[in-house]
Structure 1
């Protein structure tokens, strides 16, 4: 029922004024701010308060949304004294719900009419076993169709009742606003009278003293107003859960299968279609008009997840079979899906994501301007609410601007870039390639570690450019045939997130995404799972993400390089557990990198540079490789702080080793020492620095 409930909720409440996120961005994907991280359990499906029955999920936007969750994404419901509009106090749009109920009633009539035509489909002169078999099959379909029509009608009735409950709550909220205003007026009048009496007593000799304690007659009136509003909200919440319960019971009866064959989809069939099977979903998406696609995606925010669950290989085969007009219609109508759907070619994804990025930046700039105008002249208490929204928008705008800057001239730039993934939100996810993936004969993915945000994409894009240039130099393959993808498409732990850093939940979630990305790359390029044309380069916490992904049955690459690993979890206990060719797991850790061993020790994860792990350990110290003088890595981060270099910096020993390993020349790299050797060297360095 969950999809059906979401289908309704996508049409339900329309937040206004301060609740700008849902109105401005609900259909373009920024609603994913609740719980970001999918992707480990599809977190866009979280953040919704449960009703009294823990198995019932309230309708989003119709009154049952947890206010803390809404505040987390900027969808704020105001309180008495902050607004004079009832719709700001009670969530839900009875008019929109009523319209949806009417659409379902119309749909019920449409299904009944189609069934009646279907019943006439057999000529009376047709007899025999085939005719009997057809009639039996037809009756089974018609039984399901009748159940679907009845379910539509009952769902429409339930939704109409819920709309009426919200309308009643809005009327009560209007009364509460009037009561609150009356209380404020009473308070102001009493305050003036009290102040006047005090002033008169102070100026009149021998006057009787005035009570110094001010008795506010407006308190009781405002308390009554708050009680009215509380009761109204409670009624909406109860109705919310009851409506969800009714809709849940109707789900099974609203499944029509392929009753209508290849006939055009009746408007509003999206809720039923969600249960018609994933293959049918692809078939129906191909047949939908642009407006139907937009409506379906709005009603089903889980659409991208469902398509990703089909597997990139399946998606790639489906996408290749579509004609140009259909691909264009899908890209235009459901861009947030197509732009992040593994199995779709990189050129299409980049074009779609660039368009969405431009649109989002413009919308954020407009919203910030409007919010700043709104705050002019507001009292400090009211202004604080808007200031929080402004701060959140400014942070997001800074990230999107960083992506825009890193994207540069796009595919036509020097170097060329493609925006391979783009999901803005509380933790914006992005994947930016340097080099054109569609034209590349070799692709490397850089998986970042702890503390990385979309705002760092510029530095990773530069690191990608440097690595690409070095890969071309060591291999002789033209730079135009190489692409490096800065893969910031998962949620890593932040610096203060101790449980996230030491745990593996975020790595597991990131591995979900990485497996899909690798499979998608293999599908669009026609490469096998362990193709030497595909490499993974991971740093710090990202090495755990990469190891978990490559240890899964669907994961695979030609080689993997682990830089400054914070340890890999038990899901990938040895190098042989990874789905890469024998001898193609590389690891390095600098002597000056003291954070990596701390992360390994505190988390209990395995050091991939240890002998037991079985990786080819290469050096990060100053050395000469192939006659080239390489500089040492002197910190843990991916980039140096200006005074020194780190793993992904140009001219570092780690960067050169990475280029060699990813281009199939890792076997020529000399082996480096083990963790004990580095520990001894650290001790010697401390003694040399501080004295014995």
Structure 2
């Protein structure tokens, strides 16, 4: 009977989405950005080192890290200045070199939308102006920090909405800054807007296509962090970002996967994620995502609620969070728990709700 009811709910969801009779239809279809970074053709054709450069589309982050270790700092910088849009996005390349390359690439676009990203002191680990723009920024010392976290955002996030004053804790930059502050600055946190997100709550948000592309990019990104000398990260995945993390779970190089406000992870239970990472879930009572049917039918919907008892995730307290973007707000039990997880303190995460 339970399965029958879920099937009926899924069929209703499919009818609603396709028929466009509810909020699910209020979104614009997006074309996912795929493939190697801009400038890759010129990079491949560059024979100046006297040997082929690693192919951005096929070389592994480990291979890229090995290649750069054979170069002097001067030769590394020459390549970064000649091919900034490639070096800035090469997972496995030296972190400081990527910061320098991306500052050059951002200034070269001469696009006012991105000018603030090139301000002194910002550590931009990835920048791709294609589509709506993608960006990753680091808060803290990525290669020296004992603990590293990566924030994976949901819908309506791109290079233009990466950081904003309105609803700051609904942006990857705001979440990352808040998480790092909650750890007392003892972590490095990456705000990763490195995939094409859905716009609104249309078909893109109800299906897994954009998440599938994002999952591949996230898996490569995490492998690149470790190849470049950073600690194995914890992932903090919000809303549709949890769909990305669910699809990437078996491939990401992560120690923890934490989802909040999740519509589902495209898995029936934790075991189906095929990951050795610890899986955590938070959902506050006032989050509107609870009204989204936790089903998957004909490619629509993302499966059971990760915060449900049957899923098997470790539950994160979220009684004092409010709304869909309230999980990283300072002073909430959810943020205290996130900080404990980010610091590798699992027991502290479970008791964060008692610290009020």
Q: Could you tell me which residue of structure 2 aligns to residue 598 of structure 1?
A: 292
Q: Could you tell me which residue of structure 2 aligns to residue 454 of structure 1?
A: 159
Supply the distance in 2 between the matched residues of 1:336 and 1:435 (Cα, whole angstroms).
23
2:225 pairs with one of 490, 510, 521 = 521
Once the two structures are superposed, residues 586-631 of structure 1 have per-residue CA deviations (whole angstroms, 9 ceiling, x without a partner) of 101011012244063461522111222211012211xxxxxxxxxx
SS in 2 for 1:603: coil
Supply the distance in 1 between the matched residues of 2:189 and 2:290 (Cα, whole angstroms).
25
Supply the distance in 2 between the matched residues of 1:433 and 1:466 (Cα, whole angstroms).
13
- What pairs with 1:549-588 in structure 2 (closer than 5 Å)? 549-552=248-251, 555-570=252-267, 573-575=269-271, 577-581=273-277, 584-588=278-282
Supply the distance in 2 between the matched residues of 1:431 and 1:465 (Cα, whole angstroms).
13
Q: Per residue, is there more helix in 1 or in 2?
A: 1
Supply the distance in 1 between the matched residues of 2:333 and 2:81 (Cα, whole angstroms).
45
Q: Could you tell me which residue of structure 2 aligns to residue 436 of structure 1?
A: 141
- What pairs with 1:367-406 in structure 2 (closer than 5 Å)? 397-398=112-113, 400-404=114-118
Corresponding position: 1:635 with 2:323: yes
When Rg is computed on C-alpha atoms for both structures, the one with the higher figure is 1
Contact 1:402 1:454 in 2 (8 A): no
Once the two structures are superposed, residues 102-137 of structure 1 have per-residue CA deviations (whole angstroms, 9 ceiling, x without a partner) of xxxxxxxxxxxxxxxxxxxxxxxxxxxxxxxxxxxx
The answer for unaligned runs of 5 or more in structure 1 is 1-34, 46-269, 275-280, 294-302, 365-396, 411-416, 473-478, 622-631, 639-645, 673-692
Q: Report the Cα offset of residue 43 of structure 1.
A: 9.2
Contact 1:633 1:652 in 2 (8 A): yes
Q: Report the Cα offset of residue 576 of structure 1.
A: 6.2
Q: Report the Cα offset of residue 580 of structure 1.
A: 3.2
1:544 pairs with one of 243, 247, 262 = 243
Corresponding position: 1:316 with 2:65: yes
Q: Could you tell me which residue of structure 2 aligns to residue 37 of structure 1?
A: 32
Q: Report the Cα offset of residue 286 of structure 1.
A: 2.9
Supply the distance in 2 between the matched residues of 1:539 and 1:466 (Cα, whole angstroms).
14
Contact 2:135 2:158 in 1 (8 A): no
Contact 2:337 2:350 in 1 (8 A): no
Q: Report the Cα offset of residue 563 of structure 1.
A: 0.7
Supply the distance in 2 between the matched residues of 1:44 and 1:286 (Cα, whole angstroms).
20
1:334 pairs with one of 74, 80, 83 = 83
Supply the distance in 1 between the matched residues of 2:63 and 2:307 (Cα, whole angstroms).
37
Q: Could you tell me which residue of structure 1 aligns to residue 10 of structure 2?
A: none
Decide whether aligned partners of structure 1 residues 308 and 442 sit closer, same or farther in structure 2, where only a CA change above 3 A counts. Answer: farther
Q: Which has the higher contact order (CA 8 A, sep 6+)?
A: 2
Supply the distance in 1 between the matched residues of 2:249 and 2:174 (Cα, whole angstroms).
26
- What pairs with 1:231-250 in structure 2 (closer than 5 Å)? none
Supply the distance in 1 between the matched residues of 2:261 and 2:156 (Cα, whole angstroms).
15
Supply the distance in 1 between the matched residues of 2:249 and 2:128 (Cα, whole angstroms).
24
Q: Could you tell me which residue of structure 2 aligns to residue 151 of structure 1?
A: none
Q: Any runs of at least 4 consecutive aligned residues in structure 1 with deviations exceeding 4 A, and if so which?
A: none
Q: Report the Cα offset of residue 544 of structure 1.
A: 1.0
Q: Per residue, is there more strand in 1 or in 2?
A: 2
Once the two structures are superposed, residues 494-548 of structure 1 have per-residue CA deviations (whole angstroms, 9 ceiling, x without a partner) of 105x221111111110011101110001111165xxx4xx110010000111121
Supply the distance in 1 between the matched residues of 2:131 and 2:82 (Cα, whole angstroms).
24
Contact 1:560 1:662 in 2 (8 A): no
Once the two structures are superposed, residues 316-374 of structure 1 have per-residue CA deviations (whole angstroms, 9 ceiling, x without a partner) of 1111111223212211111110000000111111111112212323xx4xxxxxxxxxx
Supply the distance in 2 between the matched residues of 1:438 and 1:546 (Cα, whole angstroms).
23
Decide whether aligned partners of structure 1 residues 335 and 443 sit closer, same or farther in structure 2, where only a CA change above 3 A counts. Answer: same
Contact 1:308 1:516 in 2 (8 A): no
Supply the distance in 2 between the matched residues of 1:657 and 1:567 (Cα, whole angstroms).
21
- What pairs with 1:654-665 in structure 2 (closer than 5 Å)? 654-665=334-345
Q: Could you tell me which residue of structure 1 aligns to residue 179 of structure 2?
A: 467
- What pairs with 1:616-635 in structure 2 (closer than 5 Å)? 616-621=314-319, 632-635=320-323
Contact 1:566 1:597 in 2 (8 A): no
2:129 pairs with one of 424, 436, 446 = 424
Q: Could you tell me which residue of structure 1 aligns to residue 4 of structure 2?
A: none
Supply the distance in 2 between the matched residues of 1:487 and 1:599 (Cα, whole angstroms).
27
Q: Could you tell me which residue of structure 2 aligns to residue 489 of structure 1?
A: 194
Q: Could you tell me which residue of structure 2 aligns to residue 535 of structure 1?
A: 234
Contact 1:575 1:585 in 2 (8 A): no
Once the two structures are superposed, residues 610-666 of structure 1 have per-residue CA deviations (whole angstroms, 9 ceiling, x without a partner) of 222211012211xxxxxxxxxx22211x3xxxxxxx012211221111111121112
Decide whether aligned partners of structure 1 residues 519 and 338 sit closer, same or farther in structure 2, where only a CA change above 3 A counts. Answer: same
SS in 1 for 2:227: helix
Decide whether aligned partners of structure 1 residues 578 and 663 sit closer, same or farther in structure 2, where only a CA change above 3 A counts. Answer: farther
Contact 2:239 2:263 in 1 (8 A): yes
Contact 1:543 1:567 in 2 (8 A): yes
The answer for unaligned runs of 5 or more in structure 2 is 1-29
Supply the distance in 1 between the matched residues of 2:314 and 2:213 (Cα, whole angstroms).
27
2:94 pairs with one of 335, 345, 367 = 345
Q: Report the Cα offset of residue 466 of structure 1.
A: 2.1
TM-score (norm 1): 0.42
Supply the distance in 2 between the matched residues of 1:311 and 1:612 (Cα, whole angstroms).
37
SS in 2 for 1:487: strand
